[in-house]
Amino acid sequence: LTGRENVYINAAILGMTKDEVDEKFDDIIEFADIGDFLDVPVKFYSSGMFVRLGFAVAAHCKPDILLVDEVLAVGDTGFQNKCFNKIGELKKRGTTTIMVSHNMHMISTFAEKLIFLNKCKGRYFNSVTEGIKEYTKLFINKEDLGIEKVCSGNDNIKFFDVEINKRIFYPGDSFSISMKYKSRIDYEDIDIDTGIYSGNEISLYFQATNKAYNKKINLEKGKHALKIEIKNIQINNSMAKIIIAIWSKNRVGYLFWWRIPVEFKEIDYSTGKNFLKVLYEVK
């Protein structure tokens, strides 16, 4: 069947008459934005095109309940914005919208109540913010984000008592990592890398001292303390891991490498809590 034929069939399944579909047909096609593919069999559609057409029909049939399953994961920014606007219109008309998604930004923006499933059991929350908080806790101790010391020294230097001052962050927060070391020799002109990565290894933040500082960093012989401070981290709603790497001169090899799981909180759009604090003035 073609896209055109699917519009009529899906609309009929949803309870619309042919006259009602005829009246709304142009609006449905304009919303779906599938261009010249309207009369092409849907078996040649991409999954995104198919979902766009299906959502366009459902959104124009005046539903009492609209069930949306990850529809905003497809399409370009323009289509996603149209979906947001349409869902907002339906909510104002009294349509109950059930959104199935892993997108915490979308959920916190549109949802009023939340249910999440874990091992076939549902947990209900009147507060979306609290629900997201409990949901993200499920992943803070996942194995792929676990603490992992790959290298803590060599025959000449050892690192110990490594600590991070916090593991839960809000946008704009700072953090510090402190450690002690005992070295038999002086290490001159070392490099320190600090990176923050998502669970699927996407880089969210990276800083290298050899690029950010003009002065040299040395590790002196003997027993000493070292503290690394990172300020004003602008990351929102992510389970992540912080990785610290200390290199010998000219990056010949690692002296130290450490990974620790952390959580970056979601901005609460309903109350404005955790919004980035930006200083500005008007002249």
Phi, psi for residue 192 in degrees, rounded to 5: -125, 120
Q: What is the pTM of this model?
A: 0.50
pLDDT at 134: 78
pLDDT at 74: 62
CB atoms under 10 Å from CB of 107, counted, come to: 20
pLDDT at 47: 79
pLDDT at 8: 94
pLDDT at 219: 92
Taking 90 as the threshold, does the pLDDT of residue 107 lie above it?
no
pLDDT tier for residue 180 given thresholds of 50, 70 and 90: very high
| Domains with residue ranges and CATH for the chain | 3-101 (3.40.50.300), 143-264 (2.70.50.60)
Tens digits of residue pLDDT in 206-238? 888 766 666 788 999 999 999 988 888 877 767
Taking 70 as the threshold, does the pLDDT of residue 142 lie above it?
no
Q: What's the whole-number average pLDDT of the chain? A: 80
Taking 50 as the threshold, does the pLDDT of residue 283 lie above it?
no
Taking 50 as the threshold, does the pLDDT of residue 144 lie above it?
no
Taking 80 as the threshold, does the pLDDT of residue 34 lie above it?
yes
Beta bridge partners of 222: 183
- Where helices occur in the chain by DSSP H, the ranges are 3-13, 18-32, 47-59, 77-92, 104-110, 128-137, 209-212
Contacts of 283 (CB under 8 A, 6+ apart): none
Tens digits of residue pLDDT in 236-256? 767 788 888 898 888 878 888
pLDDT at 266: 65
pLDDT at 24: 92
- Going by the DSSP 8-state scheme, the letter that residue 41 receives in this structure is B
| Sheet strands (E) in 109-253 | 114-118, 121-125, 148-151, 157-164, 168-169, 173-183, 191-198, 203-208, 222-233, 238-247
Taking 50 as the threshold, does the pLDDT of residue 127 lie above it?
yes
Alpha carbon distance 207, 195 (integer Å)? 6
pLDDT at 198: 77
**Structure tokens, 237:** 């709603």
Average pLDDT over residues 190-200: 83
Task: Give the closest residue to 267 by CA, choosing from 101, 108, 102.
Answer: 108
Average pLDDT over residues 192-219: 79
Q: Regarding predicted confidence, which is higher, 150 or 11?
A: 11
Taking 50 as the threshold, does the pLDDT of residue 82 lie above it?
yes
